[in-house]
Structure 1
Amino acid sequence: MSEQRPHLHTYQFGEGEPILERLVFSYRPLWLVLFALGTVFFAYQTFNLRPDASFEKMIPMEHPFIKSFMKHRGDLGAAGTTIQVAVEHTRGDIFDAEYLDILQQINDEVFYLPGVDRNRMRSLWTPNVRWIEVTEQGFEGDKVIDARYDGSSEAMGRLRQNVLRSGEVGRLVSDDFQSSIVQAPLIDIDPASGQPLNYWDLSQRLEKDIREKYQQGTPGSEPQVRVYIIGFAKMVGDLLDGIVSIFMFAAIALVITALLLYWYTRSVRGTATVLLCAVVAVIWQLGLLTTLGYGLNAYSILIPFLVFAIGVSHGVQMMNAIMVEAAAGKNHFDAARGAFRVLYVPALIALISDAVGFTTMVLIPIEVIKDLGIAASVGVAVIILTNLFLLPILISYFGTGKRAVDNLEEKLADPNRRGVARRLASLASARVATLSIVVATLGFAVGIYGGQNLQIGDLDPGAPELHPDSRYNLDNKFITENYATSSDVMVIMAETEEQRCADYANVDMVDRFTWHMENVPGVNSSMSAVKISKLVASGYNEGSLKWATVSRNQRLLGTTFNSMPAVLMNTRCSLLPVALFLDDHKAETLQAVVDAAESFIAENRQDGISFALAAGNAGIEAATNQEIARARNRMMLLIYTAVCALVFISFASWRAVVCIVVPLALTSFLCEALMAHLGIGVKVATLPVIALGVGVGVDYGIYIYSKLSHYLRRGEGIEEAYYHTLRSTGAAVALTGAMLAVGVATWIFSPIKFQADMGMLLTFMFIWNMVGALWLLPALARFLIKTEN
């Protein structure tokens, strides 16, 4: 059988040309003017783009735990958004006048930071940190650093005694007395302006005005103090600091992408046009997001770079089609029109599938994921305009250059390339296809088995969004190692009628609940008003431990609540928070504590009191994990249903659905097994990877199947049809996968761990989706479409 060249279209344009094609190419100057004006407008809009790191957007606001937390937020303070600044004395203990002077200055600096709830600030220098003791005359107490403090040795002795009597050792003062903490609860919404607190600005001020200012030492000597800062706001600020590295990686990816594109096309004009259209798509996306009132958070900041990569990958397909048309002897204009006519249907299907896949993220009730889905969907919608319309219009004016056409003709005539394509076409033979399906079945088994160990939530100590050796996690490690209380706190809220929180029946119930929770594995310790009440009752009776109990004498019990700290009882005496300090914030720990609390509540119902879960950073994370666990399967079902429906509508064949979707499913299962192997949990940062991988990965299968079905309709056998598919679009699909992988592979080296994880997983999914389309799709087609030959 003589060698056949790939099908080169020789359209005669006239009455039969598609309406969309006529609309695009009959008004080219008008479209170029509109694109230019739109680009200028959206570029101007991007100057108003601002980081968006609102606390509420990071949590599932509709979850019952979060609703309970928000209901009592005013009484609890800004639970979950407290900044802790630990100041370590490097030359001794805290009982030093110079150290205490620096601590006072840091306390004042923190006091005036924006968003700080000044009434609830706590440190050795704040008046709400007091000591209390029982004497022969009754209770005595004062501020830990009292009015008589003057820095003298006598004052230091008195301060040491006050610290020991205050009960703050392990809380505000480290166990070794070499550091102390300034705690600053935050108000996330400015009550005057109604604007959310700018975490990035706060983080930068903490670094500049506190860490850098007070941690400086003289040249050649150790600084007198070291500063350690943790808290949700600081963590988000550190994530946003990684934007600089993101831009650096984007620049590297841009250079590599440009080199790969030029290597493939051998056209400077073609390469520049594809890159220009991808950049225009990013500008439009950012401008549209700003116009719609959206900002960029630490997660969605990655989407513009992904949109650029997607734009370039689809541009490769268009350029490949244009060069094929030009190699058939057509001029710039006709080549662009021919490529548009060939590609606009499969490209439109692929991009709509991308957008629909990304849109499923909007259904997840966590604002940052919704915003990420909207940002990705807007980006893909823009790519439809830039790659399907702007790119062919520009090429119709400038062309690809003679060198690009000559290079393509050389590739088509190269016997070695034909030999490679012929060998790869054997993937569609009966023997190799059978083996491929067996291997794919084993791959599904490996993915399903390995994915059984996949966990929901965080699996690492500290902030898992950052690397273990990041500054934030090193700060967190110092504080957890030197202070008795855990940084992972879950707050259970005991609700009573107003002025009834101190009733014996209610206090007894809280006492029994606290004792029950202290015996749950994973709970390190607890703090509640009941514990303070017992200490006060014991103090009333010369410190006798026999009296450290909940008194049945209502009058005596009531007096123990007279001086209760505000954080343990609200002013209406209708709320008694129980703070549980946990060993860690791993998903299994959080869920075990939640299950134990809910079990106790269900078995011990009592009129007049109810328990509501849960505040604190651990309570918020438990709620987030539950939402992600529910959303994970729902999102997978929705995205695959949407992709299957679009493919079926486009090709009107269930066989097409199976051929295109099965390789995607194999990649998804293998990706879950990889996550389990690498110890990456399903969480806010990684859940979108599933939608992104499927949404983008479907493109390969659509391009391959559309070409394959075209040659099959011409009456060719499956192997011959796949051979011509490889010759016409196989290299472009492979290059598309490589470019997408390059676009995200540089993220692996990011200082932000969740970005590195996303880069690793997306690289894996993009490569495997491309391999699946080139390897598994023809094997499936061999057995599904053979009856149509």
Structure 2
Amino acid sequence: MKDTIFNALESFVEFCIRRRIWVVAILGCVTALMSVFAFQVSMKTELDDLMPRTHPYIAIHERFKQSFGGSNIVSIMLEVKQGDIFNKTTLEKIQKVTRELQHVNGVNQYQIVSLASKKIKDIRGSTDGIEFVPLMWPDVPQSEQDIASLRNAVMNSPLVYGSYVSRDLKAALITVDFYDSSVNYETAFRQVSAIANSVKGDGVEVHLTGAPILFGWVNHYLPETLLIFLLTVGFLIVLLFVSARTWRGTVLPLLAGVVSAIWALGTARLAHFNVDPLVIVVAFLITARSISHSVQLVTRFDDEIASGEESARAAAKASMLALLKPGMLGVIADAGCMIVVLLTPIALMQKVAIIGTVWVLTIALSAVVLTPVLLSWIKHPKRYAHPLDVSPILQRILNICIRIVTTRWRYTVLIGAAAIFVISGVYAFNLTVGDANPGSPILWQESAYNKDAEAINRRFPGADRMFVVFAGTQAGALKDPVVLNNINEFQKFMGAQAEVGASLSIADVIPVVNKTLHEGNPRYLAFGKNKEENGELAYMLQSGSEPGDMDRFVDPQYQNGSVILFFRDHQGQTIRTAIARIKEFSQAHQIDQGEYKLAGGMVGVLAAVNEVLLSGQVESIAFALLVLVACCALAYRSMIAGIFFMVPVVLANTLTFSIMAAKGIGMNINTVPVAALGIGLGVDYAFYIVDGIKEDLHHHGHNDLTRAITRSLNTAGRGVLITASTLIVSVVLWSFSSLRFQAEMATLMAIWLAISAASALFIMPAMVYVFRPKFVVGTSHHQAPVVPRKVYGLKREQNL
């Protein structure tokens, strides 16, 4: 069976080298064709892609978002530093913003609410009954007396004072919602920002928050992101050139990365997928895998030349034959770990899974096949491009690795790894699902967006919203005193949560109408005594309102009503606590007239995403590990192999998750793809090291395990060291990104690479030496002889 597989691999390698012109021509033509599509791919963020469509919260959100408020609400706060907003200049600025918002592309004109909008009204009693008069529409009051009257009207309106005008009267809030189907974040950000900038000055500051603004900032930093990406690639080229000392060691790995990227982006365009700017980090991570595989082949090629192979063609063939199996195994394992993200029912995750899987699979051609084929054309393989030689430094590091894993220090390595696994595994449970900090985790805390969010939350109940729907069993349910009292108690219950700044519902409006009807007597700030009386109050309210004014509170039949909760932050724990409290109240205060249904608005959408990620992340990791075990078991025909290779993966995951918990990085929709791909990342290096040991034992006719480990670390280990160190140093540039998410993910990538490299160089050979698994050493292996210590100081060529 072994000979059959080996013969098949040898035949494939022989075919690729013999038909190298055809191989390169075919790959070149396909790459050229895919590049046409790759340059047409759309790079943008779509909020719809972030929603788990099958989640019940999303069903409620989609059903009621046009009336009760969607997930694209933008909050604009005008704040004065001296005096209050009740002066002609500031009021005219509020009016200007309110009017100009109507011309922004994709805006829902019926959901523009501010002091200057027609929806904000003063409820007054008169001899003719109740009047509903807009507070500041259509004109701004001109005289000091009229402005003073406006101030008094605002302070006497519980629906305005504190909600749209701050308690200290120094800020006014304007909210606007966008149609999900027509909003373009880049356009909305540009137009709303222009409106905001036009009213700044004269002692007025303007602050903006909301999904269109957040993702507008992400698009704003896209040129910077691409620049950092190019600088990182440039830095990577320099480091590869210095460490490899050859053009082949520099150009071929980069060529492999470019070919893979072109095929993946071309596939994305053909599938009509957009590329989210935030997944550029994932793109770099996959490109790093391609470079890593190619570097292994170039390093093995150099070793074949150094060991006496004169022909570049023969050296390329030997390199490809030796590394084809671990290379393909690494590619399949990476792809398998990536495709399991498809199980998460979120469009963005599924797009990333499909594009990422295609991207990883292309490495099999761009690196594992194309690199050795191109190496076969090298005319002067023994020449170097520059005199700087870093190999002595690399060799000293590898000698340390060899000394540790082939002496009693190997037990210290394994015990230390076990201790780190236990400690990090326990601490990893502190990882937050969802956002771990106030503001947006995508941007730095000192960013303009997060400062604006902090300013709005300081003046008003909260910029983030969730609506809960009271779904009545029949029309008119919202007029029943039992229902209104239940909603009122629900609002008080939710208000006890510190992060909930305020709430708003029809239960806040009807008592005001009742009080006004009774000449402002505060005794009547209550609901009607029965359903009919509340119906009359509701009729008065409806008759004095414009069409659409009541949509944010109830539907026309008064069967379904919203309870809008204002949050000061949308951290994962805040959202989970709110959802738990809503469910607790619903269970404890059930009524026959209806029930509460979760949940809509931005916070409702995030609640659905967090719940999907909480269940899906465990499922994804479990399936990814299962894929890894299956790949290893099939490749080595041993279940022990699958368990054996889980060690670096599990260690890398627990340690990285614990670091995320310590640094306050939450497991959210942006970090999950990186975590899933990291499972495959944690095992690639180990494949090359272990397979190198196995190859030396089985194909060189000896049973010297120490020699096999030494040879593998000096060959495959050299490639691991070059790749890991080069990529780790390269990603340092991402720490200068204005997007906090990219900087933190780059840090995690560096940590992941370091852990994976350390596991491959120390833990895996130590485990082979101590446990001597049969899939590596076979059944006839004897105790390895003791090797004199001086052998570790020899040059790499002598070790080979």
Same-fold status (TM-score > 0.5) = yes
Q: State the partner residue of 2:690.
A: 705
1:376-387 to 2 correspondence within 5 Å? 376-387=356-367
Return closer, same or farther for 1:92/1:47 CA change in 2, 3 Å cut-off: farther
Moved more, 726-735 or 370-379: 370-379
- Superposed CA deviations along residues 578-605 of structure 1, whole A, max 9, x for unmatched, are 1223343232232222122212222333
Q: State the partner residue of 1:298.
A: 277
Return closer, same or farther for 1:637/1:271 CA change in 2, 3 Å cut-off: same
Q: State the partner residue of 1:88.
A: 79
CA distance, structure 2, for counterparts of residue 405 and residue 128 of structure 1: 73
Tell me, which stretches of 5 or more residues in structure 2 are unaligned? 1-5, 543-549, 782-800
Q: State the partner residue of 1:722.
A: 709
How far 1:541 sits from its partner (Å)? 2.4
Instruction: Indicate whether 1:30 and 2:15 are aligned.
Output: no
Q: State the partner residue of 2:338.
A: 358
Contact 1:427 / 1:778 at 8 angstroms: preserved in 2? Answer: no
1:669-680 to 2 correspondence within 5 Å? 669-680=654-665
Instruction: Indicate whether 1:204 and 2:181 are aligned.
Output: no
In structure 2, the residue corresponding to 1:121 is in which secondary structure? strand
Q: 2:405 aligns with which of 414, 425, 428?
A: 428
CA distance, structure 2, for counterparts of residue 511 and residue 754 of structure 1: 40
Contact 2:248 / 2:298 at 8 angstroms: preserved in 1? Answer: no
Q: State the partner residue of 2:136.
A: 145
Contact 1:323 / 1:404 at 8 angstroms: preserved in 2? Answer: no
Q: State the partner residue of 2:578.
A: 593
Q: State the partner residue of 2:177.
A: 185
CA distance, structure 1, for counterparts of residue 507 and residue 730 of structure 2: 56
How far 1:769 sits from its partner (Å)? 0.9
CA distance, structure 1, for counterparts of residue 615 and residue 394 of structure 2: 49
Instruction: Indicate whether 1:65 and 2:57 are aligned.
Output: yes
CA distance, structure 1, for counterparts of residue 767 and residue 145 of structure 2: 86
CA distance, structure 1, for counterparts of residue 491 and residue 337 of structure 2: 45
**Counterpart AA for 1:575:** N
1:158-177 to 2 correspondence within 5 Å? 158-167=149-158, 168-177=160-169
Q: State the partner residue of 1:7.
A: none
Contact 1:534 / 1:547 at 8 angstroms: preserved in 2? Answer: yes
Tell me, which stretches of 5 or more residues in structure 1 are unaligned? 1-13, 191-196, 216-221
How far 1:387 sits from its partner (Å)? 0.9
Instruction: Indicate whether 1:240 and 2:219 are aligned.
Output: yes
Return closer, same or farther for 1:142/1:399 CA change in 2, 3 Å cut-off: farther
Contact 2:75 / 2:463 at 8 angstroms: preserved in 1? Answer: no
Moved more, 152-161 or 429-438: 152-161
1:454-473 to 2 correspondence within 5 Å? 454-473=431-450
CA distance, structure 2, for counterparts of residue 467 and residue 147 of structure 1: 40
CA distance, structure 1, for counterparts of residue 380 and residue 64 of structure 2: 65
**Counterpart AA for 1:121:** I
Return closer, same or farther for 1:158/1:545 CA change in 2, 3 Å cut-off: closer
Instruction: Indicate whether 1:763 and 2:739 are aligned.
Output: no
Contact 1:299 / 1:372 at 8 angstroms: preserved in 2? Answer: no
How far 1:724 sits from its partner (Å)? 1.0
How far 1:512 sits from its partner (Å)? 3.5
Q: State the partner residue of 2:531.
A: 554
**Counterpart AA for 1:433:** R
Q: State the partner residue of 1:783.
A: 770
How far 1:341 sits from its partner (Å)? 1.5
Q: State the partner residue of 1:46.
A: 38
Q: State the partner residue of 2:761.
A: 774
1:206-221 to 2 correspondence within 5 Å? 206-207=192-193, 209-215=194-200
**Counterpart AA for 1:702:** F
Q: State the partner residue of 2:609.
A: 624
Q: State the partner residue of 2:354.
A: 374
Q: 2:463 aligns with which of 478, 487, 493?
A: 487
Return closer, same or farther for 1:101/1:392 CA change in 2, 3 Å cut-off: same
How far 1:722 sits from its partner (Å)? 0.6
1:498-647 to 2 correspondence within 5 Å? 498-520=475-497, 522-562=499-539, 563=541, 565-647=550-632
Return closer, same or farther for 1:46/1:543 CA change in 2, 3 Å cut-off: same
In structure 1, the residue corresponding to 2:552 is in which secondary structure? helix
In structure 1, the residue corresponding to 2:735 is in which secondary structure? helix
Q: 2:148 aligns with which of 146, 157, 162?
A: 157
Contact 1:310 / 1:740 at 8 angstroms: preserved in 2? Answer: no
Q: State the partner residue of 2:652.
A: 667
Contact 1:312 / 1:739 at 8 angstroms: preserved in 2? Answer: no
CA distance, structure 2, for counterparts of residue 110 and residue 63 of structure 1: 32
Q: State the partner residue of 2:545.
A: none
Return closer, same or farther for 1:455/1:312 CA change in 2, 3 Å cut-off: same
**Counterpart AA for 1:597:** I
- Superposed CA deviations along residues 586-638 of structure 1, whole A, max 9, x for unmatched, are 32232222122212222333333121011122222222221111112111111
How far 1:423 sits from its partner (Å)? 4.5
Contact 2:123 / 2:513 at 8 angstroms: preserved in 1? Answer: no
Q: State the partner residue of 2:546.
A: none
CA distance, structure 2, for counterparts of residue 501 and residue 420 of structure 1: 74
CA distance, structure 1, for counterparts of residue 639 and residue 9 of structure 2: 29
**Counterpart AA for 2:96:** Q
Instruction: Indicate whether 1:133 and 2:124 are aligned.
Output: yes
Q: 1:348 aligns with which of 328, 334, 352?
A: 328
Return closer, same or farther for 1:583/1:257 CA change in 2, 3 Å cut-off: closer
Contact 2:124 / 2:133 at 8 angstroms: preserved in 1? Answer: no
- Superposed CA deviations along residues 221-250 of structure 1, whole A, max 9, x for unmatched, are x65533211101111121222322322222
Return closer, same or farther for 1:511/1:92 CA change in 2, 3 Å cut-off: closer
CA distance, structure 2, for counterparts of residue 201 and residue 639 of structure 1: 39
1:392-471 to 2 correspondence within 5 Å? 392-399=372-379, 401-404=381-384, 421-429=398-406, 431-471=408-448
CA distance, structure 2, for counterparts of residue 285 and residue 715 of structure 1: 43
Instruction: Indicate whether 1:389 and 2:381 are aligned.
Output: no
**Counterpart AA for 2:172:** S
Moved more, 588-597 or 469-478: 588-597
Q: State the partner residue of 2:92.
A: 101
Contact 2:72 / 2:210 at 8 angstroms: preserved in 1? Answer: yes
Contact 1:269 / 1:401 at 8 angstroms: preserved in 2? Answer: no
**Counterpart AA for 1:33:** A
In structure 1, the residue corresponding to 2:742 is in which secondary structure? helix
Q: State the partner residue of 2:233.
A: 254
- Superposed CA deviations along residues 465-504 of structure 1, whole A, max 9, x for unmatched, are 2111011011111111122x21232221001123433133
Q: State the partner residue of 1:268.
A: 247
CA distance, structure 2, for counterparts of residue 548 and residue 688 of structure 1: 53
**Counterpart AA for 1:26:** R
How far 1:317 sits from its partner (Å)? 0.6
Q: State the partner residue of 1:6.
A: none
In structure 2, the residue corresponding to 1:490 is in which secondary structure? strand
In structure 2, the residue corresponding to 1:744 is in which secondary structure? helix
Q: State the partner residue of 1:10.
A: none
**Counterpart AA for 1:32:** V
Return closer, same or farther for 1:399/1:279 CA change in 2, 3 Å cut-off: farther
RMSD after superposition: 2.7
Moved more, 737-746 or 617-626: 737-746
Contact 2:466 / 2:599 at 8 angstroms: preserved in 1? Answer: yes
Aligned residues: 758
TM-score normalized by structure 2?
Answer: 0.89
